[in-house]
Amino acid sequence: MEPFLFSPGLRDFLMFNAQKIINQAFQLHQSGQIRDAINLYMKVLARQENNAQLLYFLGTANFQIGQMKLASEQLRKSARIDPKNPFTLNNLGSTLQALNQPEAALASFDKALALKPDYAEAHCNRGNALKDLKRREEALASYARALALKPDYAEVYNNQSQPLQELNRLAEALTSCDRALALRPDYVEAHNNRGGILQALNRLDESLASFDKALALKPDFAEAYWNKALIMILRGRYLEGWELFEWRFRKADLRAHYHDFPQPAWRGQEGIQGKKLLICSEQGFGDVIQFCRYLPLMGALGAEIVFEVPQPLASLVSTLECPLTVVVKDDPLPAFDVHCPVMSLPYVFRTTVETIPAKIPYLFSDKGKVEKWRDRLGPGERPRVGLTWSGNRDHKNDANRSMWLQELLPLFDLPIEWHSLQKEYRQPDLEILQQHSGICLHQDDLHDFSDTAALIECLDLVVSVDTGSVHLAGALGKPVWVLLPYMPDYRWMLDREDSPWYPSARLFRQPKAGDWKTVIQSVRQNLETFVVTR
């Protein structure tokens, strides 16, 4: 009798039990051995590429190890094959959220909730997407729905504290964090968020204690180290602050914005004489303007400097008084020996409040552009004052630092020629501008910061919330009045009307959170004197 021979296809079927392997992988997945689970999932995927359940597990696993793009592709394919699975749609939304696509994430969460209205986790995630879209009241409504379904949902209490804080509902935000911690005393992120709320309340010792609690639970928690750094610098404890400031490279929301060069990072650990040093820009335009003051000091140490900056800053920073090569961000870089981000330079120079390099001006306007502005503006009979009342709406602290133009209305009957330094306008502000045609608008003529610098050179004063306009005016040595929230950014310190960074600056602070009215009253009184004495 001839031996029984399997056909190749049947042999493979008997030797390859897909569901058994998926079950083994799922057990590994559940036990936290995620990469091992992924390896098994991939074995099955090679033969069952349209298995919706498998793609769901695999996409979820890749999400958990941070492979967001791959996770989104796998979950999206799973949802196409099985569009009625709310769990797939929820997890897809989470990957899109992590990929900074909150609109697409919101749509995915809405689809999940249409299939499963009592899905508390999807309501929570929907709130997170709305929070990122700055739709704060809607976010709070989604969080409330999640809590109605799952009253012991610690993550929701923690997450809703952020929009509450941004709405200046600080007492409610603190209560929400406390509820999260009552449910989960070891909730690291809630301790950190609680510290941020206490900082906003100017309860700084308690704030530091919350950050320290987070670090006791998670000693490598970069976010808490960063937050501690900001308080140290705010309080003038610069040496401690700049050292902790270096933790920013490990922050989840900043990590992807920094280069990973093969050349060594430099922080002053060795001489720089004769070496080509790449200084990389980082964070906002104002940050680059503030800290580029250190480049002439680097040049004095014998470094050959390459300065990488966003295009709108390239012409402006070229006026620094030191030899340097300016490269526009994302353009090819020349060869270099070592690199350092621009905001690490205070750490390199061990800067204290007393040793801030405050040689002003250190940036300069283009004389040709200045003459064009003077010709355009013509002779002025009244003081010319530049005005900025809001910054980048995507800035994490925008709700705290920006204001509405309507709040400045008490200033506009003064005998002043107002010039807006804004590049963009929000819809409510456009409606106010239509009613106050006396404010000169220049957004179409401000192509980069050198254009704005030339306009500021023609003004007598700049009045601005905490945006790039402040740093530009300060770096040019022009008088600038800075309108600050109750809890200001770390660089403005506490309880002082001047700034060691900008000798030409005068600070106007909110006496309590959200109180712009008192600030504007003080500005008006001082403008009345300014008009008379000019």
Range of the domain at 412: 367-533
Do 319 and 414 sit in the same domain of this protein? no
Question: Do the Cβ atoms of 358 and 503 come closer than 8 Å?
Answer: yes
Do 339 and 420 sit in the same domain of this protein? no
Question: Do the Cβ atoms of 170 and 200 come closer than 8 Å?
Answer: yes
Asked if pLDDT for residue 140 goes beyond 70, the answer is: yes
φ and ψ of 482, to 5 deg: -105, 125
Q: What is the pLDDT of residue 13?
A: 40
Question: Do the Cβ atoms of 310 and 281 come closer than 8 Å?
Answer: yes
Q: Give the strand order in the sheet containing 505-509.
A: 417-420, 384-388, 461-465, 480-484, 505-509
Q: What is the pLDDT of residue 14?
A: 35
In three-state form (DSSP H/G/I as H, E/B as E, the rest C), the secondary structure along 261-321 is CCCCECCCCCCCCCCEEEEECCCCHHHHHHHHHHHHHHHHCCCEEEEEECHHHHHHHCCCC
Residue 464 lies in a domain: yes
pLDDT digits (tens, 9 = 90+) for 64-85: 888 889 889 989 999 999 999 9
Structural domains of the chain, count: 3
Do 505 and 380 sit in the same domain of this protein? yes
Which of 129, 151, 173 is the C-terminal boundary of a domain?
151
Question: Do the Cβ atoms of 441 and 379 come closer than 8 Å?
Answer: no
Residue 3 lies in a domain: no
Higher pLDDT, residue 30 or 291: 291
Q: What is the pLDDT of residue 209?
A: 98
Higher pLDDT, residue 396 or 419: 419
For residue 449, give the 3-state DSSP assignment.
Answer: helix
Do 147 and 21 sit in the same domain of this protein? yes
Asked if pLDDT for residue 393 goes beyond 90, the answer is: no
pLDDT digits (tens, 9 = 90+) for 446-458: 999 999 999 999 9
How far apart, in whole angstroms, are the C-alpha atoms of residue 311 and residue 315?
Answer: 8
Q: What is the pLDDT of residue 256?
A: 62
Lookup: tokens for 364:
């300069």
CATH code: domain of residue 276:
3.40.50
Pairing between β-strand 461-465 and β-strand 384-388 as defined by DSSP bridges: parallel
> Does 361 sit behind a cis peptide bond, omega within 30 degrees of 0 on the bond before it?
yes
Percent of the chain surpassing pLDDT 70: 95
Residue 456 lies in a domain: yes
Task: Please spell the DSSP secondary structure of 455-498, one letter per residue.
Answer: HHHT-SEEEEESSHHHHHHHHHT--EEEEE-SS--GGG-SS-SS
> Side chain identity at 70, as an amino acid letter?
L
Q: What is the pLDDT of residue 259?
A: 78
Q: What is the pLDDT of residue 257?
A: 65
Length of the chain: 534
Q: What is the pLDDT of residue 66?
A: 84
Q: What is the pLDDT of residue 479?
A: 97
* Mean pLDDT value across the chain: 91
Least confident residue range of 230-234, 392-396, 403-407, 529-533 = 392-396
Lookup: tokens for 214:
């987070």
For residue 213, give the 3-state DSSP assignment.
Answer: helix
Question: Do the Cβ atoms of 397 and 491 come closer than 8 Å?
Answer: no
pLDDT digits (tens, 9 = 90+) for 318-351: 999 999 999 999 999 999 999 999 999 999 999 9
Least confident residue range of 17-26, 193-202, 366-375 = 17-26
Residue corresponding to tokens 């001839």 = 2
Which of 355, 380, 412 is the C-terminal boundary of a domain?
355
Asked if pLDDT for residue 297 goes beyond 60, the answer is: yes
pLDDT digits (tens, 9 = 90+) for 52-65: 887 888 888 888 88
Residue 436 lies in a domain: yes
CATH code: domain of residue 387:
3.40.50.2000
Q: What is the pLDDT of residue 52?
A: 86
Asked if pLDDT for residue 434 goes beyond 70, the answer is: yes
Do 440 and 393 sit in the same domain of this protein? yes
**Both ends of the chain: CA-CA distance in Å?**
115
Percent of the chain surpassing pLDDT 90: 75
Question: b or e along 195-231 (b: 16 or more beta carbons within 10 Å of the residue's beta carbon)?
Answer: bbbbbbbeebeebbebbebbbeebeebbbbbbbbbbb
How far apart, in whole angstroms, are the C-alpha atoms of residue 193 and residue 221?
Answer: 13
- Band the pLDDT of 227: cuts 50, 70, 90: very high
